[in-house]
Amino acid sequence: MKQSNQADLILESMPRKAIKTRPIYGIGINDSVFCTAARLGGIGVNHRAYAAWKGMFKRCYCQTYQIEMRTYEGCSVGNGWHRFTDFFEWWKVNFVEGWHLDKDILVPGNKVYSKETCVYIPPELNFFVSMSVNRDDSHPIGAYRCSDSDKYFSKIRDRSGKSHHLGTFADAQDAHEAWIEAKLQAANSFKTVCNSIRPDLFKSLIAKIESMRSVRLSSAA
């Protein structure tokens, strides 16, 4: 359930003056009847729903942002959320204070923000399912080259953020497979919270981890 926020309530009580504004990244239409941003007590404030809505467009369409966060390449905002009021109706029912808007835990590999694919999840769950992004090597996820040998090691972070060494392996694929298995085991600690959000979320979490699995390529004869 949405927790109350005084700034949001104040903004919602203020009629919006400028109805026609430039579309966000040429796509998003702010059709709100109330102020989505204003200065309150000398401080600039955005309505939390507006901040979340605008943030989607930044992640999907800002080239500068995507240079830093390459996992958002090819992402888009679905037609159903091009207008702020449509997103706002969904947000009012689904938003939870401090949680993160996730687009691909329900549908692994999904790149479209929509009411069918998005869900608010706790930050520790979001961090847990996030892939190792912005790596410049070609090793499979969870595999890291040892600096002093031709071997590989793997590590995993638990829900508190603490890193755990999983071992040293002869090749990158072995390190990757150890990471996948450890990730699947660690996912069980999120089963209760997943079930409290929606009944199919834990199954989707397991499917997302499995979607990260890399298949070993057979050597040519």
Please state, as a whole number, how many other Cβ atoms lie within 10 Å of the Cβ of residue 88: 21
Distance CA 72, CA 102 (A): 12
- Determine the Cα–Cα distance for residues 124 and 110; give it in Å rounded to an integer: 20
The model's pTM:
0.86
Instruction: Give the pLDDT confidence of 95-147 residue by residue, as tens digits.
Output: 999 999 999 999 989 999 999 999 999 999 998 987 654 455 678 999 999 99
Other Cβ atoms less than 10 A from the Cβ of 60: the count is 22
| Res. 4 pLDDT band, cuts 50 70 90 | low
85 three-class SS: helix
Is the sign of the CA dihedral 57, 134, 142, 171 positive or negative? positive
- Give backbone dihedrals phi and psi of 150, rounded to 5 degrees, phi first: -90, 10
What pLDDT shows up at residue 160? 77
